[in-house]
Structure formats: structure tokens, C-alpha cells
Amino acid sequence: MSNFEERLLSALKEEMTMRTAEENMAVQTPVRRGSSRRFVGLGAAVAGVAAAATVAMTVFSGAAPAYAVTKGADGSVNVQINEFSDPDGLKSELAAAGIKSVVDYLPADKICKEPRGEHSASSGRVQTRIGKADKGITFQIEMGQIAADQTLVLAISRDQANPGKPPVSTALQLIKGTVAPCVETAMPALPPPSKDNGPGLTGRKDDSKGSGVSQSSDNQ
Amino acid sequence: MRLNEDPAAFEAFYRGHVDAVMRFVVRRVGDPHLAADLTADIFLAVLDSGHTYRPGRGSEIAWLYGVARNVVSAQHRRTAREAQATSRVAGRRLMDDNDLGRMEERIDAERQMRRALEAMRGLPEGERAVLELVAIDQLSVAEAAATLGIRQVTARVRLHRARRALENAASPAAVYVEGQA
């Protein structure tokens, strides 16, 4: 049964989806690649959110097994994910390395609904490198980067049928206190991937209090 | 919860209020196409101002009527053509013949209210606004005050003055309005 009220509701919901997609497009800044290491100051602000960074990556490379969490001599933790298939396993590996985490692997066209919780405020600038490893993604967390009350929240959108394929989108953030469970929502349209053979890195930052997570992409 | 970000919350809000919004509109315009456009515009404005929305029954009504009033009075300042050009969801295009008939019925049902509003036209704006919300839209004085962003005591004074003025005018519409208030 369709009538004016129902059709109007559908039109308004479509409008909502379009607006959300446009907002996300507006704050995504394509990053040109050139040097082997690049720090990306992620811009834009969302009211009421202290500090968070979401990085959407498109990578083109082969596949390889599993994940690896290794502790460096300086106390840093290196995380390499090659296959996006065992979030709980990665979570316990991270826990063993002293990092409380929430890991979600999502279908390729879905992301987690934001916000997931209170973003960590005024912990200074947090440096994390997200690099394209041979097979998957790697990132490094420096010692003391994550405070006791913070949780590393990782949400990766990937092809479910091919868990070894590189992810469509990677979101990494630090949440203070309770982390809301991932509510899947449609992924907004991404700008076309960069032409060269590397991750097309687009940054989106919610930062209203000055501190932030800055990401560098790293060709390995 | 953000009304403009959570589709489920928006749907609940829409279903809870679409009827009241349509009634609000047809008390003010007699054209079914324009009424459909304005209904769409009001809910678009709800999305635009969703960040100012605070859940809670009393404030919810006041907030919605505030939005609706702004949309309808803005429409009066524009031509219909302009209104169509600026809206991303054209309500009139969402109506089929059946809906058009239903909208006309709604418009007919509110004929007396539109006449009563006509009778209030001579009142000072501040007084008319309070009387409109209380007598025509059946809001409580507290809700009307919240909608207009004025204190309750101010709303009461204005309401009293407006009724007095209409009594003195003693038109049939004024008597009707008094009965409703």
C-alpha cells in the first residue's frame, strides 16, 4: 500500500542518505602520492567529537595468510593483517600485546555507524602509520600511545568471499571508555582511487579539540 | 540520538507527527498541491535542523511547530515557483489522484479553521501567533510559548489580549475561535 505519506517518507530517507554521503565526500581529501612516507594532517571537524581519525584506503595487491602482532624493542607494537577473517584472533593477539581493542570486519559496502563512543581527547598528537604491506595492511602503535582507558577501534570493510583481498576501507580510532558495538551502515561513495599503484588514501577527521590522530601512508 | 542522522529515529518521528503537520498545513493553505509541497518542506527543514532537536514530548511538539511555522511563513514570502525551485523533494509530485482527493478532504475539514485564521489577521503579530497556536493548532499555552521562544506568562498575556480584541470585533469567526480556545 503506497500513499503520499509513505512516498514522502521514502523520499526523505533517500535525502538523508544522500546528505550523509555528501557530507562524507566533503571532508574526504584525496592525497597525492609521491614520497615514500607522507604525513597526512586530517582535516575537518564534527561538532562535539574530540578527536578521531578514519582512514579509507583502496589498495591493490596480492593476498597472504593471517595477521601478526609484534612488539618492538622500543615498546611499540606492529600490527600486520594479511587476511581479514578472524577478528577475535587479532583481538586476543592485541590484548596479549597490552592493547585493548574492538575489531570488526564488515562486508565491502558497509562501514560502522559513527560515533562509536567518546574519542580520546587531548592526548597530544598520536602518530600511526598505515602502510600497505605486501599482502594486507600494517600499522604501528608507539608505546604509551593508547592510555589505559582507551580502546583501539578497528573497522575494516572487505570482500567477505575473499578475506585475503586488500580491504576496501580501514577505519582506525581511539575511543575513551565504552565502545558502542558496530552498527553496519552503507558506505558513502569514495573518490576514485589514485592512479599509481598504492593505496589511495583519503582522510576524514573529526577533531574539534586540537588533538588528533595523524596518519601516514607508507609504501613498503 | 540525532534525528537527521538516524533513519529509524527519523521514521518514528515522521510517523508520529506527519498527520499533525498535514493538519497544520491545510489550516493555512487551501491548495492541495501547495499543501503537499509544504508538508515535504517542513520535514526537509526537520532534517536541516535535526541537530537542534532534543527528544522529550513537550519540547518535541514545540520544536516541530516552530519549524513548521518558519517553513509556512517563509513560503508566504516567496512565489510558488521559487518554492518549488528550492526544494529537493517536491511534495506535489509524490501525490497520486487518490492522495489528491484525501488532501482536498483534509482541506475541506479545516475550512472553518482557515476562516478563523483569516479573522485573526488584524491582530498584532505577537498576539496573533499565540492565539493561532492555541486556538487553531490546539497547543497548550506552555507549548505555544516554547514554540515562539517566549515566556509562558508573556504568552498568557498576549492570548488574553488577542481574545479580548476578537470579542470586541464580535465576528462569527471570533466567537468560534473563542469556543475552541
ipTM for the predicted complex: 0.81
Is B153's pLDDT higher than 90? yes
Assess whether B105 and B123 both reside in one domain.
Answer: no
Tell me the mean pLDDT per 10 residues along chain A, length 220. 86 85 58 40 36 37 60 75 79 81 82 78 50 65 76 79 70 80 76 47 43 42
Domain hosting residue B9, numbered range? 1-109
Task: Render pLDDT for B111-148 as a digit per residue (tens, 0 to 9).
Answer: 888 888 888 888 888 999 999 999 888 898 999 999 99
Is B103's pLDDT higher than 50? yes
What distance in Å separates the CA atoms of residue B32 and residue A174, rounded to the nearest whole number? 52
Can you give the pLDDT at residue B21? Answer: 94
Assess whether B36 and B91 both reside in one domain.
Answer: yes
Please tell me if residue B48 touches chain A, with a CB cutoff of 8 Å.
no
Please tell me if residue B81 touches chain A, with a CB cutoff of 8 Å.
no
Assess whether B54 and B118 both reside in one domain.
Answer: no
Single pTM value for the model: 0.48
Out of A4, A20, A47, whose CB is closest to B36? A4
Assess whether B175 and B90 both reside in one domain.
Answer: no
Q: Residue B174's pLDDT band (boundaries 50, 70, 90)?
A: very low
Query: What are the extents of the domains in chain A?
Result: 4-219
Under an 8 A CB cutoff, do B103 and A12 touch?
Answer: no
Please tell me if residue B18 touches chain A, with a CB cutoff of 8 Å.
yes
Least confident of B18-27, B62-71, B166-175: B166-175
Can you give the pLDDT at residue A125? Answer: 45
Residue of A nearest to B50 (CA): A16
Is B23's pLDDT higher than 90? yes
What average pLDDT does this structure show over B57-83?
77
Assess whether B103 and B115 both reside in one domain.
Answer: no
Map residue B102 onto helix, strand or coil.
helix
Q: How many residues does chain B have?
A: 181
Query: Count of domains in chain B?
Result: 2
- Greater confidence (B53 vs B58) lies with B53
Please tell me if residue B174 touches chain A, with a CB cutoff of 8 Å.
no
In chain B, which residues have their Cβ closer than 8 Å to the Cβ of A16? 4-5, 7, 10, 47
- Greater confidence (B93 vs A2) lies with B93
What distance in Å separates the CA atoms of residue A144 and residue A154, rounded to the nearest whole number? 18
Assess whether B82 and B11 both reside in one domain.
Answer: yes
What distance in Å separates the CA atoms of residue A102 and residue A154, rounded to the nearest whole number? 6
Can you give the pLDDT at residue B131? Answer: 92
Distance from CA of B134 to the nearest CA of A (A): 26
Out of A9, A15, A47, whose CB is closest to B14? A9
Can you give the pLDDT at residue A184? Answer: 83
Can you give the pLDDT at residue A220? Answer: 40
Helix (H) or strand (E) holding B131: helix B125-131
In chain A, which residues have their Cβ closer than 8 Å to the Cβ of B10? 12-13, 16
Map residue B17 onto helix, strand or coil.
helix
Assess whether B3 and B86 both reside in one domain.
Answer: yes
Assess whether B53 and B90 both reside in one domain.
Answer: yes
Can you give the pLDDT at residue A65? Answer: 55
Please tell me if residue B167 touches chain A, with a CB cutoff of 8 Å.
no
User: Number of C-alpha atoms within 13 angstroms, CB side, residue B41?
Assistant: 24
Please tell me if residue B1 touches chain A, with a CB cutoff of 8 Å.
no
What average pLDDT does this structure show over B27-49?
90
C-alpha cell at B41: 518542506
Domain boundary among B68, B93, B109: B109
Is B15's pLDDT higher than 50? yes
* Contact in structure between A158 and A165 (CB atoms under 8 Å): yes
Distance from CA of A10 to the nearest CA of B (A): 9
* Contact in structure between A211 and A53 (CB atoms under 8 Å): no
CATH of the domain at B163: 1.10.10.10
Domain boundary among B69, B94, B109: B109
Assess whether B3 and B79 both reside in one domain.
Answer: yes
What is the DSSP track for A46-74?
A: -TT--EEEEEEEE--------EEEEE-TT
Can you give the pLDDT at residue B179? Answer: 45
User: Number of C-alpha atoms within 13 angstroms, CB side, residue B178?
Assistant: 16
Can you give the pLDDT at residue A61? Answer: 37
Assess whether B88 and B7 both reside in one domain.
Answer: yes
What distance in Å separates the CA atoms of residue A24 and residue A27, rounded to the nearest whole number? 5
Domain boundary among B72, B94, B109: B109
Can you give the pLDDT at residue B39? Answer: 94
How much is the mean pLDDT over chain B? 82
Assess whether B142 and B179 both reside in one domain.
Answer: yes
Assess whether B61 and B81 both reside in one domain.
Answer: yes
Under an 8 A CB cutoff, do A12 and B88 touch?
Answer: no
What distance in Å separates the CA atoms of residue B78 and residue B80, rounded to the nearest whole number? 6
Can you give the pLDDT at residue A186? Answer: 81
